[in-house]
């Protein structure tokens, strides 16, 4: 396909920009001397079966969510008088609390809608932010749309189609995240029919709301993800690789020696890695100062723990699998006999549902010890000051 399109560009029957959009859609670049153009190899083996499209880049990096969230907020700004500053103030509100492990970054998410970023987003017709920023802010913006924008007078008259498309997009993202958290291959594959139907429905609703000219090339990548999950039995993404990029970039940005740039950067990365290894704790366990109590001789207590790269701390709000129970961590506990990790929590009882992923909870006055394996940290929460919390789950 790229070969034929390249010929048309040379014959000037296609524009170069159209050809580049085709490359982006396919995720490939034409190289006449490359592996994919070797027909001898392709007669024996098709290298494209090894290609995997990353859902995080397809949705969160100049992708579907990046585009639609920008278009939706811009549409509401035009027809309902919503200002980007309103969303910025909502995210800056100090009443919001975040898990201790992610708080430093989460408290800066409002910068996505500061003046500089807004101008950059307008020029690009999409939000200008990193994958991790959008993944973190996604739930907060979703809550803001449900609780602050949807109740406005005239919303259904001017934004019903756009809201319906956005809700369909949320269902796609939620399904991918659920598949990613599935405990085994078979459970993961059960999400495939739902994801395939959700992606098709969203494509139709998006075109109905914004027209087909707004469909980004990466929307084509997203349609391949259900087949990948069905083939592999798990969800592949690039978050670990992106963290490694950030680690190297943090050294490269400070390196001024351009004569031996590669050597200087690699030396800095190696030194940084050695420092991190000195503080490395292999496997899951308690973090920080560990104490014991005479009345519980087999238990150890700490303010923090790490379970399979999930970090929890005291005062964090945790949600049980299925979202039916919440609690506020008051201690991290290790059982030295069974070698298992738990958290001691103040139990929250359900009060009312606010949005599909946000609810109001209240303190029950009871405490319990929950196994960490069945928990995940809440995305964010707000203390209403009367024994009630608004909790946003991922």
Question: Residue 15 falls within a domain, yes or no?
Answer: no
64 has pLDDT over 90: yes
Question: Residue 147 falls within a domain, yes or no?
Answer: yes
More confident call, 125 vs 6 = 6
My answer on whether 209 and 262 are in the same domain is: no
My answer on whether 306 and 158 are in the same domain is: no
Q: How does pLDDT run across 128-159, given as a tens digit for each residue? A: 888 888 988 999 999 999 988 999 989 999 99
My answer on whether 294 and 244 are in the same domain is: no
My answer on whether 218 and 270 are in the same domain is: no
Question: Residue 104 falls within a domain, yes or no?
Answer: yes
| pLDDT (mean) for 319-330 | 88
Alpha carbon distance 218, 63 (integer Å)? 6
DSSP per-residue string spanning 123-177? HHTS----HHHHHHHHHHHHHHIIIIITTSTTHHHHHHHHHHHHHHHHHHHHHHH
| pLDDT (mean) for 287-296 | 88
Q: How does pLDDT run across 14-60, given as a tens digit for each residue? A: 999 999 989 888 888 899 888 888 888 888 988 888 888 899 999 99
My answer on whether 168 and 245 are in the same domain is: no
Q: Are the CB atoms for 195 and 172 separated by under 8 Å?
A: yes
My answer on whether 222 and 260 are in the same domain is: no
My answer on whether 306 and 373 are in the same domain is: yes
Is the pTM of the predicted complex or chain greater than 0.95? Answer: no
Give residue 291's domain range: 285-392
Question: Residue 215 falls within a domain, yes or no?
Answer: yes
Q: How does pLDDT run across 177-199, given as a tens digit for each residue? A: 999 989 899 999 999 999 999 99
Question: Residue 260 falls within a domain, yes or no?
Answer: yes
My answer on whether 217 and 309 are in the same domain is: no
My answer on whether 170 and 220 are in the same domain is: yes
Q: Could you tell me which of 132, 61, 139 has the C-alpha nearest to residue 102? A: 132
My answer on whether 257 and 341 are in the same domain is: no
Instruction: Give the pair of three-digit tokens for residue 79.
Output: 């027809």
My answer on whether 110 and 218 are in the same domain is: yes
Percent of the chain scored above 70 by pLDDT? Answer: 99
């Amino acid at each position: 396909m790229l070969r034929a399109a390249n010929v048309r560009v040379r014959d000037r029957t296609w524009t170069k920009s159209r050809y580049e959009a085709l490359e982006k859609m396919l995720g490939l670049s034409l190289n006449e001397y490359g592996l994919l153009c070797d027909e001898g190899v392709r007669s024996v083996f098709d290298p494209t079966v090894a290609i995997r499209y990353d859902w995080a880049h397809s949705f969160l990096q100049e992708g579907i969510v990046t585009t639609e969230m920008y278009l939706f907020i811009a549409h509401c700004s035009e027809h309902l008088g919503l200002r980007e500053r309103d969303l910025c103030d909502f995210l800056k509100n100090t009443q919001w609390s975040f898990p201790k492990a992610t708080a430093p970054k989460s408290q800066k998410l409002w910068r996505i809608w500061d003046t500089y970023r807004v101008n950059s987003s307008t020029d690009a017709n999409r939000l200008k932010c990193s994958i991790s920023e959008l993944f973190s802010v996604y739930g907060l913006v979703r809550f803001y749309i449900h609780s602050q924008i949807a109740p406005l007078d005239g919303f259904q008259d001017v934004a019903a189609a756009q809201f319906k498309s956005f809700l369909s997009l949320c269902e796609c993202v939620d399904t991918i995240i659920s598949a990613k958290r599935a405990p085994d291959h078979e459970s993961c594959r059960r999400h495939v029919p739902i994801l395939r139907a959700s992606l098709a429905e969203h494509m139709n609703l998006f075109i109905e709301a914004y027209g087909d000219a707004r469909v980004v090339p990466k929307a084509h990548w997203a349609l391949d993800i259900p087949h990948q999950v069905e083939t592999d039995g798990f969800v592949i993404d690039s978050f670990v690789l992106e963290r490694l990029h950030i680690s190297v970039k943090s050294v490269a940005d400070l390196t001024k020696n351009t004569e031996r740039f590669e050597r200087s950067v690699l030396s800095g990365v190696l030194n940084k890695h050695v420092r991190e290894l000195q503080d490395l704790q292999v496997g899951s366990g308690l973090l920080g100062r560990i104490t014991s109590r005479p009345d519980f001789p087999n238990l150890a207590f700490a303010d923090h723990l790490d379970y399979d790269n999930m970090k929890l701390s005291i005062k964090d709000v945790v949600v049980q699998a299925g979202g039916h129970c919440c609690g506020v961590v008051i201690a991290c506990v290790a059982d030295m006999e069974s070698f298992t990790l738990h958290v001691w929590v103040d139990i929250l009882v359900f009060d009312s549902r606010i949005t599909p992923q946000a609810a109001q909870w209240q303190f029950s006055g009871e405490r319990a010890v929950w196994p960490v394996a069945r928990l995940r940290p809440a995305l964010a929460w707000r203390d209403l000051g009367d024994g009630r919390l608004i909790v946003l789950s991922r």
